[in-house]
Structure 1
Amino acid sequence: MSINVERHTAISPVELLKTLELSNDEELDLNIRNWVLWDRNEATLAQVLSAVHDQDWEALRIRLCHRLSFGSTGIRGGMRAGFDSLNDVVIIQAAQGICAYLLDIYPSLQKRSQSGVVIGYDGRYNSKRFSQLMAAVFLNNDFRVYLFRRMVPTPFVPYTVVALKCLAGMVITASHNPKEDNGLKVFWTNGAQVTTPHDKRINEYIINHLEPKPSSWELSVLEDHPLLEDPYRRIYPLYFGSLKKLLPPVYLETNECSQLRFIYTPLHGVAYPYMREAFYQARLKPLIPVPEQKEPDPEFPTLVRPNPEDGKEALRLAIVKAEAEHCTIILANDPDGDRLAAAELDPRGRWKIFTGNELAALLGWWAVESYKVRTPKPALGNCIMITTMISSKILAAMARVEGFIFVEGMVGFPWMANRALELQSSGRTVLFAYEDCFGYMFGMTLPDKDGIAAATQLATMACYLRSHRNITLIEKLREIYHTYGYHEMISVTYSAEDADVITEIYSQLRNFGEEGSYPKCILENEFEVVHIRDLTTGLDTSFPDKKARLPVNPETNIITFTFTHGYVVSMRSAANDFRIKINAEIAGLPEEKEWEELHDKLNRMTNAVIEEFLKPEDNGLTQAPYANYS
Structure 2
Amino acid sequence: MDPPGAPGAPQAAHRPPNPGDPQLDAALQRWRSWDRNPRTRAQLDSLVLAGRQEELRARFCSRMSFGTAGLRAPMGTGFNRINDLTVIQSTQGLYSYLSRCMDDLSSRGLVIGFDTRGQKESGCSSQRLAKLTAAVMLSRNVRVHLFSSYVPTPYVPYAVRKLGAAAGVMITASHNPKEDNGYKVYWSNGAQICSPHDKEIMLSIEQQLQPWSASCWEEEAADASPLSTDPLEHIHQCYMDELASLCYHREQNRACPLRFVHSSFHGVGHAFVRRAFQEFGFDPPIPVPEQQNPDPEFSSLRCPNPEEGESVLELSLRLAEQRDARVVLATDPDADRLAVAEITDRCTWKVFTGNELAALLGWWMFLNWKQNHPDPADTRSVYMLATTVSSKILQAFAHLEGFHFEETLPGFKWIGNRIHELSESGNTVIFSFEESIGFLCGSMVPEKDGVSAAAVVAEMAAYLHNQNLSLNQQLLNIYHTYGYHVSRTSYVICYDPITIQKIFSRIRSFHGDGSYPTTCGGVKIVHVRDVTTGYDSSRPDLRSVLPVSRSSHMITFTLQNGVVATLRASGTEPKIKYYTEFCAAPGDSDVSRLEAELQAVTASLLDDFLEPEKNGLIRRRE
TM-score (norm 2): 0.93
Task: Tell me if 1:192 matches 2:211.
Answer: no
Alignment of 1:113-512 (within 5 A): 113-125=106-118, 126-213=125-212, 214-248=214-248, 251-378=249-376, 379-467=378-466, 469-494=467-492, 499-512=497-510
> 1 CA distance for matches of 2:571 and 2:106?
39
Distance of aligned partners of 1:588 and 1:141 in 2 relative to their CA distance in 1, 3 Å threshold: same
Q: How far off is 1:577 after superposition? A: 10
Q: Tell me the distance in 2 between the aligned counterparts of 1:233 and 1:496.
A: 43
Q: How many residues align?
A: 611
Q: Distance in 1 between matches of 2:179 and 2:359?
A: 34
CA distance in 2, matches of 1:51, 1:392: 46
**Alignment partners' CA distance in 2, 1:615 and 1:35:** 41
Range with greater deviation from structure 2 (36-45 or 554-563): 554-563
Q: Secondary structure at the match of 1:118?
A: strand
Structure 1 CA distance for aligned equivalents of residues 436 and 24 of structure 2: 39
Does 2:34 align with 1:41? no
Q: Is the alpha carbon distance of 1:626 and 1:372 closer, same or farther for their aligned partners in structure 2, counting shifts above 3 Å?
A: farther
Q: Which amino acid is the alignment partner of residue 441 of structure 1?
A: L
Distance 1:483 1:208, change over 3 A: same
Q: For 1:152-199, what per-residue CA distance to the aligned partner results, in whole angstroms no more than 9, with x for missing partners?
A: 111111110011110001111111111111111111100001000001
Shift of 1:623: 4.4
Query: Partner residue of 2:558?
Result: 562
Say if 2:393 and 2:485, in contact at 8 Å, map to a contact too.
yes
Of 615, 620, 624, 2:619 maps to: 624
CA 1:129–1:576 in 2, change beyond 3 Å: closer, same or farther? closer
Per-residue deviation, 1:536: 2.3
Q: Aligned partners of 1:204, 1:580: CA distance in 2, in Å?
A: 28
Paired residues of 1:560 and 1:569 also in contact (CA < 8 A)? yes
Specify which of 571, 585, 593 is matched with residue 597 of structure 1. Answer: 593
Task: Give matches, 1:65-76, under 5 Å.
Answer: 65-76=61-72
Moved more, 604-613 or 575-584: 575-584
Is contact 2:111-2:167 (8 Å) kept?
yes
Is the Cα contact below 8 Å between 1:157 and 1:169 reproduced in 2? yes
Identity of aligned residues (%): 42
- Shift in Å, 1:222: 2.2
Q: 1:99 aligns with which of 92, 95, 98?
A: 95
Question: Is residue 112–residue 145 contact of structure 2 (8 Å, CA) maintained in 1?
Answer: yes
The amino acid across from 1:247 in the alignment is C
> How far apart, CA to CA, are the structure 1 residues paired with 2:491 and 2:549?
21
1:366 to partner: Cα distance: 0.8
How much does 1:579 deviate?
Answer: 5.3
1:81 to 2:89 alignment: no
Q: CA deviation at 1:616?
A: 4.8
Give the distance between the partners of 2:507 and 2:51, measured in 1 at CA. Answer: 45
CA distance in 1, matches of 2:617, 2:23: 35
1:495–1:621 contact (8 Å) kept in structure 2: no
SS of the equivalent of 2:394 reads: helix
Q: Contact 1:255–1:282 at 8 Å: present in 2 too?
A: yes
Asked if the contact 1:72–1:199 (Cα under 8 Å) also holds between the matched residues in 2, the reply is no
For structure 1, the 5+ residue unaligned runs are 1-7
AA paired with 2:229?
E
Superposed CA deviations along residues 43-101 of structure 1, whole A, max 9, x for unmatched, are 11111123334443322212111211123331111111111111111111111111111
- Cα shift at 1:121: 0.8
Q: What is the letter of the counterpart of residue 114 of structure 1?
A: S
Deviations 1:94-127, CA, capped at 9 Å, x for gaps: 1111111111212x4xx23331111111111101
Aligned AA (1:185): K
Structure 2 CA distance for partners of 1:511 and 1:16, relative to 1, 3 Å: closer
Could you state the TM-score of these two structures normalised by the residue count of structure 1?
A: 0.92
In 2, Cα distance between equivalents of 1:14 and 1:255: 59
Cα deviation, residue 17, structure 1:
7.4
- Contact 1:482/1:590 (<8 A) preserved: yes
**Displacement of 1:374:** 2.9
SS of the residue 1:182 aligns to: strand
Q: CA deviation at 1:499?
A: 4.5
**Structure 2 Cα separation of the partners of residues 367 and 353 of structure 1:** 21
Matches of 2:326 and 2:571, distance apart in 1: 44
Q: Does the 8 Å contact 2:337/2:437 carry over to 1?
A: yes
Q: Is the 8 A contact 1:121 1:152 kept in 2?
A: yes
Cα offset for 1:453? 0.5
Q: Which residue of structure 1 lines up, in the alignment, with residue 53 of structure 2?
A: 57
| AA of the residue aligned to 1:552 | V
| Partner of residue 3, structure 1 | none
* 1:286 shift after superposition: 1.7
CA contact (8 A) 2:153 2:335 kept: yes
Q: How far has the Cα of 1:500 moved from its partner?
A: 4.5
Letter in 1 for 2:240: F
Residues in 2 aligned to 1:592 and 1:193: alpha-carbon distance in whole angstroms: 39
**9 and 243 in structure 1: CA distance in 2 versus 1, 3 angstrom threshold:** farther
- In the alignment, residue 162 of structure 1 is paired with which amino acid? R
Q: Could you say which residue in structure 1 is the equivalent of 2:547?
A: 551
Cα deviations by residue, 1:333-392 (Å, 9 ceiling, x for unpaired): 011111110100000000101111111111011110121133353522321111111111
Q: Please give the alpha-carbon distance, in whole angstroms, between the structure 1 residues aligned to 2:127 and 2:497.
A: 37
Q: Is the 8 A contact 2:128 2:219 kept in 1?
A: no
1:27 aligns with 2:20: no
Contact 2:486/2:581, CA 8 A, preserved across alignment: yes
Does the 8 Å contact 2:67/2:571 carry over to 1?
A: no
